[in-house]
């Protein structure tokens, strides 16, 4: 694996990746052209905010599997292009939460007590004590827009100062807000009630969340704190409101244009401004770098998706639960992709047992990756697998069943093709790993690894001997020979022994001889 780190990160992040035996290219400050050359054979790219990961750069990185953004925002990453190319994009949304929350309160306190203006007067040799009367935080209403990790940390600090917290977040459960002792309000109602308004949400598109109309809903004494995104506030409207006395002031760490070219806001004495440093603490930088590197490592090494921006992420306990079954799902998809020769119209995935509950999108992605990697030459990952299915007119159906089976957890994958159905079921055995337990309606237990010869045959004596004779004649050793039979016929799954390091490929000639056995109806080679 080759990892390119394009922006400065703590050495601990690079060390984490180097210990895997991977090549880490951590040269910073490269031109786009030089960076593109480095990415020609790279598996991962890690950036901060300085490097723009646009469509042109991604086009020049054909092997890229993951982009790590060391920070929260991903405005500098072309998510649409990354998703189309099957590239996972991860960030570190919680690593700098404490730093940003503390900086939010630094701006809030500075605004409430005119700290910056008082300091400027002192440095100029002026003693302006009477005109710099501030306001207490105790008993004031703190309006928090966005109750994510940072917003919640801000709430805790507000409570410590004796403030009354209200919040606006349409995606938060009412019970979560109640546990935080926060009243949930519509945004306009929050503006009308809050003495301090602090923003902790992503960009909202072309229109600022706080334009002239929204600012007019605020108290004339209210102060707005923004450590999230500069595009959330119309700066000209903000400057006008403060200058007219329609708003008490602001504390800003982010701006519409960075660095700002217009000082109409930052030049106001009622505004405390800092140069986008809310997350810039030693502790946060270390955590952000390590968390991003860890996400990249886990995805490249184990396929674990955490902190994803363009793919569903799971909680750690869910990841632990699903991890063994992602391997099973991928191998079932690959198994069917190699035994089915007709045009696939539908892929149905059904879960039994404990897998019937929870978010199984990771299993869907793994199944599709396994299937498409056997039939497509293009780069397929869980991120673009559903899109590839849609482009090829393949319907993906996901379902679950509470019907008891003989296994604690079971995954069933069925292909609906132009020539009928192909069907495989699998389970994870504690010692043996992923196993095939049913094929085309016939119960059979076989390993899902290595090279397999999969045979459908009539249920009659002598088939085993004839197939074994064909393989022996071509010096192909058999590791295991699994058999199953039922009303739908018989199935044989032969695993080829490669333990001695020699290669005895099952060539078309060998496969032709197996198919020539009178009782054999179908035969295919599967490599997992």
Annotated active-site positions, please? 229, 258, 276
67's enclosing H/E stretch is strand 66-69
CA distance 285 to 279: 7
Residue located via tokens 């004031």: 140
CA distance 527 to 370: 11
What would the two tokens of residue 14 be?
């690079």
What would the two tokens of residue 38 be?
């480095």
What would the two tokens of residue 73 be?
């925002």
CA distance 358 to 34: 44
CA distance 345 to 394: 5
CA distance 363 to 440: 21
Output the CA torsion sign for 27, 29, 34, 39: positive
Residue whose C-alpha is closest to residue 373's, from 526, 208, 146, 163: 526
What would the two tokens of residue 333 be?
């998809």
DSSP string, 308-337: BSSS----HHHHHHHHHHHHHHHHHHHHHH
CA distance 187 to 143: 9
What would the two tokens of residue 105 be?
């309160």
CA angle 146, 47, 266 (to 5 degrees): 55
What would the two tokens of residue 41 be?
């054979």
Q: Give the SS3 label for residue 79.
A: helix
Is the backbone of residue 71 left (phi > 0), alpha (psi -120 to 50) or beta? left
What would the two tokens of residue 101 be?
């929350």
159's enclosing H/E stretch is helix 149-160
Cα within 13 Å of Cα(179), Cβ side: 7
CA distance 98 to 18: 28
E-strand ranges in 235-381 read 249-252, 271-273, 344-353
C-alpha 463: how far from chain center: 48
Interhelix angle 316-339/361-372, nearest 10 degrees:
30
- In this structure, how many other beta carbons lie within 10 angstroms of the beta carbon of residue 70? 30
Is the backbone of residue 160 left (phi > 0), alpha (psi -120 to 50) or beta? alpha
C-alpha 320: how far from chain center: 16
């Amino acid at each position: 694996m080759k990892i390119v780190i394009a922006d400065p990160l703590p050495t601990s992040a690079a060390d984490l990746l180097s210990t895997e035996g991977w090549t880490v290219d951590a040269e910073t400050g490269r031109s786009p052209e030089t960076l593109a050359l480095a990415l020609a054979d790279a598996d991962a790219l890690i950036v901060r905010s300085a490097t723009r990961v646009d469509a042109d750069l991604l086009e020049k990185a054909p092997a890229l599997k993951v982009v790590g953004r060391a920070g929260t925002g991903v405005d500098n990453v072309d998510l649409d292009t990354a998703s189309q190319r099957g590239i996972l994009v991860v960030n570190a949304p919680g690593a700098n939460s404490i730093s940003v929350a503390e900086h939010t309160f630094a701006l809030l306190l500075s605004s409430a007590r005119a700290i910056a203006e008082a300091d400027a007067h002192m440095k100029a040799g002026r003693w302006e004590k009477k005109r710099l009367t501030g306001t207490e935080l105790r008993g004031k209403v703190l309006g928090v827009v966005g109750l994510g990790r940072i917003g919640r940390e801000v709430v805790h600090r507000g409570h410590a100062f004796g403030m009354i917290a209200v919040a606006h977040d349409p995606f938060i459960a009412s019970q979560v807000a109640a546990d935080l002792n926060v009243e949930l309000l519509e945004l306009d109602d929050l503006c009308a009630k809050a003495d301090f308004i602090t923003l902790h949400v992503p960009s909202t598109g072309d229109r600022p969340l706080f334009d002239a109309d929204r600012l007019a809903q605020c108290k004339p004494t209210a102060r707005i704190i923004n450590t999230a995104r500069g595009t959330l506030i119309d700066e000209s409207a903000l400057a006008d409101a403060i200058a007219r006395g329609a708003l008490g002031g602001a504390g800003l760490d982010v701006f519409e244009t960075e660095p700002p070219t217009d000082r109409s806001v930052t030049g106001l004495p009622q505004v405390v401004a800092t140069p986008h440093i809310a997350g810039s603490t030693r502790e946060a930088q270390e955590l952000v770098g390590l968390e991003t590197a860890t996400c990249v490592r886990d995805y490249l090494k184990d396929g674990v998706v955490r902190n994803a921006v363009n793919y569903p992420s799971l909680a750690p306990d869910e990841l632990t639960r699903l991890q063994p079954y992602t391997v099973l799902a991928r191998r079932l998809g690959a198994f069917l992709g190699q035994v089915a020769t007709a045009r696939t119209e539908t892929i149905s995935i059904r879960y039994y047992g404990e897998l019937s509950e929870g978010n199984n999108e990771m299993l869907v992605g793994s199944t599709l990756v396994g299937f498409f990697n056997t039939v497509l030459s293009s780069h397929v990952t869980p991120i673009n697998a559903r899109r590839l299915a849609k482009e090829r007119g393949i319907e993906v159906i996901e379902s679950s069943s509470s019907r008891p089976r003989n296994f604690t957890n079971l995954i069933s994958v069925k292909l609906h093709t132009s020539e009928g159905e192909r069907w495989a079921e699998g389970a994870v055995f504690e010692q043996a790993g992923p196993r095939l337990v049913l094929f085309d309606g016939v119960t059979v237990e076989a390993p899902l690894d290595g090279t397999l010869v999969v045979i459908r045959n009539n249920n009659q004596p002598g088939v085993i001997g004839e197939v074994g004779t064909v393989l022996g004649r071509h010096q192909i050793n058999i590791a295991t020979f699994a058999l199953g039979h039922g009303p739908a016929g018989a199935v044989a799954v032969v695993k080829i022994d490669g333990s001695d390091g020699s290669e005895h490929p099952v060539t078309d000639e060998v496969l032709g001889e197996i198919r020539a056995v009178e009782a054999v109806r179908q035969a295919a080679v599967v490599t997992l």
